[in-house]
Amino acid sequence: MKLLVQKFGGTSVADADRIHRAARRAIRAKQQGYQVVMVVSAMGGTTDKLIELAREISDDPPRREMDMLLTTGEQVSISLMAMAIHAQGEKAISLTGGQIGLITDAAHMKARIQLIQGDRLRKELRDGHIVIVAGFQGVDNSGEITTLGRGASDTTAVALAAVLGAERCEIYTDVDGVYTADPRIVASARKIEQISYDEMLEMASLGASVMHSRAIEFGKKYNVEIHVRSSFTDNPGTLITHEVKKMEEIVVSGVTLKKDMVQFVLPKLPNLPGVAAKVFARVAEKGVVVDDIIQVFDDKGLASTSFTVERNDLPDAREVVALIANDFNLTGILCNDPVAKISVVGVGMRSHTGVAETMFKAMAEAQININAITTSEIKISCIIDTEQAEEAMRVVHNAFDKGNLE
Ligand code: ASP
Ligand code: MG
């Protein structure tokens, strides 16, 4: 029997009306002959409120207890969803991560899925139930409740789709798909019909906050088709899928913007073996997550290294940089705060030339200075001033908009 996983995010279950609407959608799929597994997030804002509450109680709550607390949000929404489906005359049952045998490692608040047993789930499906699974939660080997990190209901959904061999995983959200750029900034941005896993992964890490990255990785690994679409309309959304030839014809699929970044420049480091290792050992010791790293050397035996971090890591990053300055007797360290990163993404870059030129020229014409450039096979990123970031997004999108963007 064909099977569908439908995931509903917080805004799609934010009140009784919306829960009923989501329930209707699942029932419709069931009537079309699918077995239906729903994965549901906590009602919109709930997880934030629970975190807020914990902070009022303690500056440093035990992570185990945070998981105990946060998983209650999903338990509310799954039970309400089951009631809504019952009220509409269909059979449904809600199940927690533990009840479906979603086993994770023991890393509270950022656990990773190790195994999904799924026997219970399959049995309930065979018995004709729409099965409603709590997103974002599991249990470790000793039965302790864990969570998979903020936004990870997407990951629960795609992982379940993989394990159950679902025809598709539908992600219902408050936007109607993935756009060529943020439509709040770029009025001419368009919905992308189809995008490859690799492009979507790049876009997610470069600032397009549509889906949890780990969910996309799962999709890629297990070849799960992911359909991101609006829970408020019946319009088709964006299909995230394996790469097909015609994707290469589109040079740039999307333009993304990441704000609230900080760039450090460490000038005049010795250009010698082991220096970069020592610098980034300091970074790792503090657990600071580094985004881009660039190093260049000169003819005097010196090298200059720059790296970017997210702005909420700034206090830790400053401490790290002070230690590095001390290690190497550095002076003249620069800290550009804040900066933004604008990127163009597309598998078509592999086979087309002139993409960098088009991007840089568009910014030059708008008098936007580029502080740093990094590239991968399918993206080009520039670090620029935050004040010019939105303008940059518009001019770059415009430059590729002549039949090139999806
Ligand atoms: N409720 C969790 C969160 O807000 C998980 C999710 O919604 O995906 O992060
Ligand atoms: Mg989400």
Tokens of 67: 């998981």
What is the atom index within ligand 1 of the atom nearest the CA of 10?
Answer: 7
In short, whether 384's Cβ falls inside 6 Å of ligand 1 is: no
**Ligand 2 mean position, distance from CA 351 (Å):** 34
What pLDDT sits at residue 404?
58
Q: Where are the domains of the chain?
A: 3-174, 255-400
Whether 156 is in the pocket of ligand 1, judged by its Cβ within 6 Å, is: no
State residue 117's pLDDT score: 95
Domains 3-174 and 255-400 agree in fold: no
Does domain 255-400 fall under CATH 3.30.565.10? My reply is: no
Class of the CATH domain delimited by 3-174: alpha beta
* pLDDT, averaged in runs of 10, over the chain (406 residues): 96 97 98 98 98 97 98 98 98 98 96 96 98 98 97 97 97 93 94 95 86 94 96 95 85 93 96 96 93 95 96 94 96 96 94 92 97 95 97 96 64
Closest ligand 1 atom to 41 CA = 7
Residue 352 pLDDT? 87
Ligand 2 center to 29 CA (angstroms)? 22
Q: Is the Cβ atom of 207 under 6 angstroms away from ligand 1?
A: no
